[in-house]
Each structure stands twice: as structure tokens, then as C-alpha cells.
Amino acid sequence: MTMSIDFPRVQEEVRALSVQPKIEGMIDDLMASLPDPTRLTAEERRSIIARYSAVLEGNFIYWMTAALISVHAEEARPIILENLHEEVRDSHPAMLRRFTIAAHAFPTDADGLSIDEDLTGVRLFLGRLSGAQSVLTMAFFEGFIQKFMSYLAELAELQGSSEREYTDVHGVCDVAHTAGLFAAYQAEVAVNPLQPGMDPFEGVVLLRNLIQTIVFGADGKIAA
């Protein structure tokens, strides 16, 4: 009996393993690009909190749900469901709204419209229900949010707020959580691989662009 090696499958697994360092590198680059909060004007600080809130409050659960209905791998479902369970049970949108109002940064129509184009791009992308790409996008989002919390808390503090629940809850380095989403990605590519020519990072790049608009504004006015 001869051993046969399933080369496309092996290639797919090697690719899956290499996505995590790339995602972590993209998050580190984003973090390194953030402007010093103490050098921003009060209005610039307010607008970053407002745009963050405009994106996260209404979309995080929706996008995690999009990932859930996109995946084919059975093992991926409980990982995503656990995340959704916590979001809904502890009402993270209510927590974020309290944080934003306490920092006097509730989004205005101008804040909402400034992120509209990039937000729509991410929404339409997730609407394609591409399992592996959607899970990877949410792994990037989770990882970024976790690292961004201390920065967001500093912005709010400089705006005179001491409300910390949202940033404390999300800033905990939950290795299992992020690792879970990478495991879900690996499970998904194993049963539902990307078509040749599809970029696993397509949604990640769209979301990265949206985060850059949150931080720097649609016109890139806030300088790093």
C-alpha cells in the first residue's frame, strides 16, 4: 500500500496556519500608527470615540452573526456562538453606548456619514457569506478591539470621563477567544476552502480601511 499525500489539502492547511502572524502584524501596524491622544484637539478625540461607536454599536453583533451563518464547518459554530452569547447576554451595545455618552461623544449625523462608505463596503462583503473570509475578518476585528481598548480609554479619560466598563471588559487579553476564531478559520478552510484566486484577507483589508477612517476621519485630517 502506498501513502498518498493530499497536496491541495496540505497547502490549504499551511496557508491557514500562516494567516495568524499576518493578522497580528496588521494589528500591530495599526496600533503603531495611532496618533498621540494628548496631541489631539478635544474635537479630534471626541470624533474618534464617536466614529468608533457609530461602527461598533450597531454592527459587531450583526457581523459576528454574518460569520455564523457563513460557515460550513460544524466545529466553527460553537466558537462563534459563544462570542454572540456573551455580546447579547451582557448587552455590549448598551455598555458601549454608556461609555460613549459619558465621554460626550455620542455620534452626530456627520460622524455617522463620515464612515458610511467604508462601513457599506464591509457590510456588502460580509453579505457574500464567504465562510473562511468572514471568520478571518472577525478574528482581525476581535484582535484589534482588544489592543485598541487602552487607547480608547485614554481618549475618554482626556475627555473627562471615568466610565470604564466597556474598555475594561474588552481589553482583557483573552487568548482563548482570539485563538478560537483562528481555529474556526482553520476548520472552515478544511471543509470549505477558498476558491483559487480568492484573497483570504479581502474582508480584513476592508475592515482595516474602516478602522483607519474611524481613527483619521474620512478626509484623513487627523495626522498620525
Interface with Fe ion by CB under 5 A: which residues? Answer: 92
Smallest distance from the beta carbon of 92 to Fe ion, in angstroms? 3
Q: Please give the DSSP secondary-structure letter assigned to residue 217.
A: -
Would you mind telling me the total number of residues written for the chain in this entry?
A: 224
Chain centroid to Cα 186, Å, comes to 18
Crossing angle for the helix pair 131-158 and 202-216, to the nearest 10 degrees: 20
Using alpha carbons, list the distances in angstroms from residue 195 to 4, 130, 143, 206, 209: 23, 10, 26, 19, 24
Q: How far is the CB of 45 from Fe ion (least distance, A)?
A: 22
Q: Which is nearer to Fe ion, 141 or 216 (CB)?
A: 141
Nearer to Fe ion, 46 or 92 (CB): 92
* Residue least distant from Fe ion (Cβ): 92
- What does the alpha-carbon distance between residue 34 and residue 30 come to, in Å, rounded to a whole number? 7
Minimum Å gap between C-beta 64 and Fe ion is 9
Nearer to Fe ion, 45 or 92 (CB): 92
Q: Which is nearer to Fe ion, 26 or 149 (CB)?
A: 149
The answer to whether residues 32 and 40 touch, using CB atoms and an 8 Å cutoff, is no
For the CB of residue 87, give the shortest distance to Fe ion in the complex, in Å. 5
